[in-house]
Amino acid sequence: MVNTENKPGTSIRFRFVRVIAIVLAIGTVLLSVIIGTYEKKALRESLREDGQSLAHFIAKLGKEALVAQDTVILDSIAHDAHKEDIAYTLVYDIQGNLLTSQYASLNYRSPIINNILATLPREIDLPEIINHLKRKRHILEISSPVVVDITHVGNVVVGMSEHVIRRQILTTILFIVAVNLSVISVLGGVLFSVSRKILFDPISALSESTTQLARGDLSVRVNIPASGELKTLLANFNHMVADLKKAEDDRIKLEEQLRHSQKLESVGRLAGGVAHDFNNKLTVILGYAELAGRIQADNPNLAGYLREIARAAEHSRDITAQLLAFSRQQIASPKPVAINQIIMEAGKSLPRLIGEDITFNFVPGEGLWIVKIDPVQLDQIIINLAVNARDAMPDGGAFSITTANVSIDRLSYLLKNPDARHGDYVEIVFSDSGTGMDQEVMKHIFEPFYTTKGVGKGTGLGLATIYGIVTQNNGFISVDSKPGLGTVFRIYLPTHSGGYIVEVPQAEQNQTGRGVVLLVEDEEMVRQMTGHMLEEMGYVVKEAATPREAIQIASNPQTPLDVVLTDVVMPEMNGAQLMRIIHGKRPELQVLYMSGYTSDLIARKGIIQDGVNFIQKPFDMKTLNDKLSQAIKLQGGGFPGSDQAKLLK
């Protein structure tokens, strides 16, 4: 939980003021105590001196009256001596008799006298009042002898009231407090004002900004003058928020891309599912069209119709193939290739494809690393991007392909491209000077059936296919484009550490074959059509509608078999499982898998594993024959089952 609000009294401003106030209050108290103690001592001493002077003066002034026992004069002297800090003045004769009267002796203007008298009974006499005062009140009593010549004739006693001291100390303390308060007010005001400018305002602004930040506002910035560490802090905060904003923007962008990828993934899965059934049906259509064409070759009209059927079916197959390619489920047989060589080969036919008003330029990178990819897929990429470039440059322009080795190791690059991974790649850059794209278009270009071309001019699968192929081959793709500034596609394909094989083109073969084929296919129409094809080509066919039936056939050692042609996805068990059982009994038996789409059963992410024979549905007789022939050759360099085939035939 984010604490976004300060409770009253918890702000640093308030606490600062409180601490200052407490420190000053303690300081004031200590100062008051220290000064009060010293002042009390000094005032007591001063009071004592005053008392002594007064007692001495009264003794001197009243000695004649004392000798004459004139109490009226003594009363007058005692009374006249009264000042505020005197509680009483007493004159005694040498015998200790008190000569002054109560009202003359007591200073009724002293608050302590009136206070104490109010509590005493009216009958109480002066000596008792004096004793009471000395017991209850702070009285400093000073005595001075009355001496006439050298004769001691009596004593003057002066009672000094310490309440004056207390009041003086209180006044001093009040003065200290007042001065301190004034100083505190002035200094505190200045300190607070200065602190507010250099400390509190930046901290408050920072606090408010962090609150806004905690609430998710990444646009917040602290724009307040500061200096020293606070300046650095605020600058770092702003920088941090800017980084957060950038990271947040990147995250949003990545999420967008992730959603886009997931969307493509789901579309791909849907396409894969559709393609399975669709290719089975196309296999039957194409197969029978081809077979029918063989039979009715002499009827030109019928042959034409059959060719149209075949063309339509082939076109449908291509669409399915592209869908599969986009969904990374196209059956591919990657091999180590030299990219430059393939581009160069493909480049020969590109001028025809893109037209004469577009100049094509290929800049091959030197020492280019080897890449493992199905060359057919690479051709698809080149052709699709060339066609796109052409369509983007209706009035001509330039189209170029460059290749280079790159090592992806920068985090920033990886963050921008969610598909990217660390590693070494061959970069193939396709640049055109065409119309370019805006951001909205770029968001959708890899979606299947998304096209900006006119109706009938594009399937909307070109870039989706490229995307599928690249990701199927563990690569990734990026696009840079702006309206009017052309488009650059960068395709990154991971390098292959091994060498590559230069393929020798095979001699044209007849569409005839020999051998016994165990055909395993749960789709009856496909099975029947394939059986017809095989027989038409000269093969002996043993059909099995289910894997169980196939096992039964293969289990009989008397049954001659050269190769197993089996569907991959079947009820009960898949093709691979079937072959493990059959190989348990007849390990020498070769197998050719056929499937309308790939699955992890025989391929991982659509890539056929090395040593696996596979034929993509739908297929024509020639391809089927080629694949079967290769498989049978692998079994023993000839047609080991030919005798049995003949027998069966």
Partner 1 sequence: MPIAARYRFIAVTCFLSLIIAGEARAEKKIGAFLFSSETRYEVAYRGFRDQLAEEGFKEPGTTFSLYNANGNKATASELVNKLAAAKMDLYFTAGTSASVALSRAIKDMPIVFSVVYDPVKAGIADSWENSGNNTTGTSTRVPMTKIMEALKKLKNVKKLAVLYSPGELNSEQLVRDLKDVQQEFGFKVLPVPLTKIEEFPAILPEVMRTSDAVYVTGSNLVDSQIGYIVEQARKNRVVTLTHLEDLVEKGVLFCVSIDTYQIGRLAGAKAARILRGAKPSSIRIESPPTYSIHLNVKTATMSQIPIPPEFMAIVRKKIQ
Give the binding range for partner 1 (CB under 8 A) out of 31-39, 73-81, 307-315, 375-383. Answer: 73-81
Angle (deg, nearest 10), helices 163-195 and 12-61: 160
- Toward partner 1, which CB reaches closer, 7 or 122? 122
Residues numbered 32-71 forming contacts with partner 1, rule: CB under 8 A: 70-71
CB-nearer residue toward partner 1: 86 or 358: 86
Decide: is 103 part of the binding site for partner 1 (CB under 8 A): yes
Query: Which listed range, 101-109, 383-391, 415-423, 635-643, lies at the site for partner 1 (CB under 8 A)?
Result: 101-109
CA atoms of 45 and 166, how far apart (whole Å):
14
Residues 6+ apart with CB under 8 A from 33: none
Q: Which is nearer to partner 1, 24 or 117 (CB)?
A: 117
Binding mask 496-535 for partner 1 (x = CB under 8 A): ----------------------------------------
User: Minimal distance in Å, beta carbon 77 to partner 1?
Assistant: 8
Find the binder of partner 1 among 79, 134, 221, 443 (CB under 8 A): 79
Please choose, out of 74-82, 292-300, 479-487, 610-618, the segment that lies near partner 1 by the rule CB under 8 A: 74-82
Query: Least distance from C-beta 63 to partner 1, angstroms?
Result: 17
Sequence-distant (≥ 6) Cβ neighbours of residue 297 within 8 angstroms: 303
Question: What is the DSSP track for 181-240?
Answer: HHHHHHHHHHHHHHHIIIIIHHHHHHHHHHHHHHTT-TT--------HHHHHHHHHHHHH
Least distance from C-beta 78 to partner 1, angstroms? 8
Binding segment for partner 1 among 55-63, 96-104, 389-397, 565-573 (CB under 8 A)? Answer: 96-104
Does 137 bind partner 1 (CB under 8 A)? Our answer is no
Q: Is 117 in the site for partner 1 (CB under 8 A)?
A: yes
The residue type found at 569 is: V
281 exposure class (CB count in 10 Å sphere: 0-12, 13-18, 19+): middle
Confirm or reject binding of residue 114 to partner 1 (CB under 8 A).
yes
User: Any residues with CB less than 8 A from the CB of 17 and at least 6 apart, and which?
Assistant: 188, 192
User: In whole angstroms, what is the distance from residue 132 CA to residue 117 CA?
Assistant: 10
Binding-site size, partner 1 (CB under 8 A): 17
Contact between 108 and partner 1 by CB under 8 A: the answer reads yes
Nearest approach in angstroms of CB 57 to partner 1 is 16
Nearer to partner 1, 103 or 175 (CB): 103
CA-based nearest residue to 493, from 412, 373, 379: 373
The dihedral of CA 602, 603, 608, 609: what is its sign?
negative
C-alpha 562/C-alpha 427 separation (Å) is 45
Find out whether 601 and 576 touch, Cβ atoms under 8 Å.
Answer: yes
Contacts of 378 (CB under 8 A, 6+ apart): 337, 339, 342, 343, 346
Specify the residue, 104 or 463, whose C-beta has the smaller distance to partner 1. Answer: 104
Cα separation, 475 vs 339, whole angstroms: 14
73 makes contact with partner 1 (CB under 8 A): yes
In the bound state with partner 1, the residue whose beta carbon lies nearer, of 116 and 234, is 116
Lay out the site mask for partner 1 across 572-591 (x = CB under 8 A, - = otherwise): --------------------
Enclosing H/E stretch for 180: helix 163-195
In the complex, the residues that contact partner 1 under the rule CB under 8 A are 70-73, 75-76, 79-80, 101-104, 108-109, 114, 117, 122
